[in-house]
């Protein structure tokens, strides 16, 4: 049976950090590991999600003159697969070495959007960041990491150490209020972000019984908060979202075998 939890943002961050790991992870040789495959799919009608008007740096942020930008919080494919859902194992104390995808450990700001939208960064490693845009972006982080980092020049790489396990929210303090992303600073490698089909895979898992979690950042806007554009010092309105949502299931991994876990999520 799956579980769904709702809580304040602060409580969600603390609970997630506790769930990620209560002890130091130990790298071992996994000779008889198994694989967990599955999907995260949407059920029911799609919610009505309002786009945000692109009201700054249109030549850079809106090269195709679309006038608005989706907040990218809920991406459902043709076969109902939900992209950008983070799937991970709870309370893993030992297993394979870190092998998280490099593309989820490097953040770019391109056309005033974060690429990728979901980052997975091992704890005690560095996050690399740059901006491909010829305008000022300022990454504001809160949660397990707190930084406010300006990017006045294109293609200049900045690095910061991600020492604390947990969830980090990213947004732009440069007036581009639609920019948002989420980063997991993780203690072990058994994490995956679903692709555009909603698929995920966790490989070389030591045999045993686990709880597997599907985490989604949430898509509903609760209200607008007042923020400041650091360049113009003008007030801007930025969307505030409901807390993330999580679902849990048990999974048993047999030696040299595969397990399948599928999640179904919905508006309810």
Map out the domains of the chain with their CATH numbers: 9-266 (2.60.40.420)
Q: How far apart are CA 220 and CA 222, in angstroms?
A: 6
pLDDT tens, residue order, the chain (268 aa)? 444 444 444 445 445 554 554 468 999 999 999 999 999 999 999 999 988 999 999 999 999 999 999 999 999 999 999 999 999 999 899 999 999 999 999 999 999 999 999 999 999 999 999 999 999 999 999 999 999 999 999 999 999 999 999 999 999 999 999 999 999 999 999 999 999 999 999 999 999 999 999 999 999 999 999 988 887 888 999 999 999 999 999 999 999 999 999 999 998 8
Place of tokens 């991994």: 253
By the 8 A CB rule, do 173 and 150 touch?
Answer: no
Q: How far apart are CA 189 and CA 187, in angstroms?
A: 7
C-alpha 109: how far from its chain's center? 15
- Count of Cβ atoms closer than 10 Å to residue 48 Cβ: 5
Q: Report the DSSP pairing between strands 118-122 and 94-95.
A: unpaired
Which residue, among 109, 92, 82, has the nearest Cα to 27 in the 3D structure?
Answer: 92
User: Dihedral (C-alpha) 181, 187, 189, 190: value to the nearest 10 degrees?
Assistant: -80
Which residue, among 194, 37, 16, has the nearest Cα to 90 in the 3D structure?
Answer: 16
Q: What is the reported pTM?
A: 0.91
What does the pLDDT read at residue 268?
Answer: 81
Which residue, among 29, 189, 56, has the nearest Cα to 133 in the 3D structure?
Answer: 56
State how far the alpha carbon of 235 is from the alpha carbons of 61, 200, 227, 258, in Å. Answer: 19, 40, 6, 53
Q: How far apart are CA 86 and CA 94, in angstroms?
A: 20
Which residues are within 8 A (CB) of 156 and not within 5 positions of it... i.e. 6 or more apart? 130, 131
Place of tokens 């980063």: 183
By the 8 A CB rule, do 41 and 85 touch?
Answer: no
Which residues are within 8 A (CB) of 59 and not within 5 positions of it... i.e. 6 or more apart? none
Tell the burial category of 255 from Cβ atoms under 10 Å away from its Cβ (0-12, 13-18, 19+): exposed
3-state helix, strand, coil split of the chain in percent (to 5) is 5, 45, 45
Q: Report the DSSP pairing between strands 86-89 and 208-216.
A: antiparallel
């Amino acid at each position: 049976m799956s579980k769904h939890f709702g809580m304040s943002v602060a409580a969600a961050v603390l609970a997630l950090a506790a769930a990620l790991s209560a002890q130091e992870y130990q790298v071992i040789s996994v000779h008889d590991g198994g694989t967990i495959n599955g999907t995260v799919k949407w059920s029911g009608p799609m919610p009505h999600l309002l786009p945000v008007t692109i009201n700054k740096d249109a030549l850079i942020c809106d090269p195709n003159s679309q006038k608005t930008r989706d907040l990218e919080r809920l991406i459902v494919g043709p076969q109902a697969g939900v992209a950008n859902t983070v799937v991970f194992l709870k309370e893993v104390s030992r297993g394979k070495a870190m092998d998280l995808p490099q593309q989820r450990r490097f953040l770019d700001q391109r056309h005033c959007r974060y690429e990728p939208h979901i980052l997975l960064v091992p704890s005690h490693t560095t996050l690399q960041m740059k901006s491909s845009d010829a305008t000022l972006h300022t990454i504001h982080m809160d949660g397990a990491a707190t930084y406010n980092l300006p990017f006045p020049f294109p293609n200049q790489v900045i690095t910061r150490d991600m020492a604390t396990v947990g969830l980090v929210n990213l947004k732009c303090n440069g007036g581009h209020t639609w920019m948002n992303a989420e980063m997991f600073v993780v203690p072990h490698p058994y994490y995956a972000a679903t692709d555009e089909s909603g698929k995920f895979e966790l490989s070389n898992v030591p045999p045993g019984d686990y709880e597997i979690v599907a985490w989604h950042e949430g898509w509903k806007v609760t209200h607008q908060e007042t923020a400041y554009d650091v360049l113009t010092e003008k007030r801007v309105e930025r969307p505030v979202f409901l807390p993330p949502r999580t679902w849990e299931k048990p999974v048993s991994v047999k030696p040299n075998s595969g397990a399948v876990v599928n999640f179904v999520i919905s508006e309810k």
